[in-house]
Amino acid sequence: MLRRLKVYSHTLYYSYASSYDNLCITSSLSPICILFARITNEESFMRIAHLSDLHLSPDHFPERSDALYEILHKCRSLKTDHIVITGDITNQAKPKEFAHARSILKEFDLLDPEKLTVTIGNHDIFGGPYYAEDVLSFPGYCRQTDYDGKVKEFYSAFRETFEGCQYVSGSSIFPYVKMIRDVVFVGINSVAQWSSLKNPLGSNGEVCKKQFHRLKEIFASDMLKGRMVVVLIHHHFNKQESKPSAGKLERLWGAIESSTMKLWKKKRIFSLFATASIGKVLHGHVHHHEGYKRKNIQFLNAGGTMFANPQGHCLFHLLHVQQQKIEHVDVRVVPNKRNRRSAIGI
């Protein structure tokens, strides 16, 4: 079968390419694409898929579970060494949702610290309102949520992937440091505690004081020295701006959204990041697929993994780490019309 790769700028569009070795590039080549096409099985080379915001539920949105099967098959065919999921793995943080997500990952043999790294998102603690009318009652629901209990539930659902994580002090789950070959992942919990003023819907972010101090210790230690540092966090660092063409209502909704979808105290996190040489910061939360630079740091948002572009494609990032260099391309998956809910074969 002819395996064909079309290159659109930095976006790679694959149709049944089962490995890089047989890829056929059909348009002008960007340096990144040449790099990817020349992949060999060198020891120092590492391929990381970055997914986010899966919002899985066994009862709702079956198309998301279907898409995850497609995406994980794609990761397998691309021979990814490691997968990272930056939060909102579940939709409502229900026990059966954690079990559902766990069972799919287990089917693909991903409950392994060498193969998968996860961090937590606001939906894994507070969930979110289903309908517009739920917005009014949702703050009360969030207030009653056992924040620490949900973090432990998240940890328990994906416990194998935390094996071998290192901590500077205390017994908290976040922040952690995980070393895989030449890469060091720093996993942060950016979900803010509920607050009637600062976080009424549970969707805003903050790195709490305790966690921030531990991060300072991590960044000052030898743990990150000489390795490619990749930070995993759920919340975003870019500004959400409404389009100049947006009408009054759209601008009003944009203002509401940005006040309930923000990361507080970003400044101190930026100054912490400036103390290390960071390869990439991977995040989600805002349901877009994008890459951007702020304060000289490269960010990748995989929040659009399940929230397809207008053409109905799922998108995720594929990172390529080699010899202290990190590059990335976008991978587009066309959800298959066949319902292929199995980890077996293609």
- Residue 35 Cα to chain centre, angstroms: 24
Asked if 145 and 154 touch (Cβ cutoff 8 Å), the reply is no
Q: In what order do the strands lie in the sheet with 228-232?
A: 176-180, 183-187, 228-232, 278-283, 297-302, 289-294
**121 touches Fe ion (CB under 5 A):** yes
CA dihedral 300, 303, 309, 310 (to 10 degrees): -130
Tell me the closest approach of the beta carbon of residue 87 to Fe ion, in angstroms.
6
**Residue of 80, 122, 161, 189 that binds Fe ion (CB under 5 A):** 122
**128 touches Fe ion (CB under 5 A):** no
Part in contact with Fe ion (CB under 5 A); list of ranges 66-74, 86-94, 270-278, 307-315:
86-94
* 183-187/11-15 β-pairing: unpaired
Part in contact with Fe ion (CB under 5 A); list of ranges 109-117, 131-139, 190-198, 285-293:
285-293
Tell me the closest approach of the beta carbon of residue 302 to Fe ion, in angstroms.
10
**Residue of 12, 53, 153, 180 that binds Fe ion (CB under 5 A):** 53
**88 touches Fe ion (CB under 5 A):** yes
Query: What are the C-alpha distances in Å from 219 to residues 229, 272, 275?
Result: 10, 8, 7
Task: Please work out the total of residues on this chain that contact Fe ion, with binding judged by CB under 5 A.
Answer: 5
Q: Which is nearer to Fe ion, 45 or 141 (CB)?
A: 141
**129 touches Fe ion (CB under 5 A):** no
Quick note: the x/- pattern for Fe ion over 132-161, rule CB under 5 A, is ------------------------------
84 vs 70: CA distance, rounded Å: 16
**285 touches Fe ion (CB under 5 A):** yes
On the 0-12 / 13-18 / 19+ scale of CB atoms within 10 A, 264 is middle
**330 touches Fe ion (CB under 5 A):** no
Tell me the closest approach of the beta carbon of residue 191 to Fe ion, in angstroms.
8
Q: 107, 70, 108: which is closest to 339 by C-alpha? A: 70
Amino acid making up residue 274:
A
List of residues contacting Fe ion (CB under 5 A): 53, 88, 121-122, 285
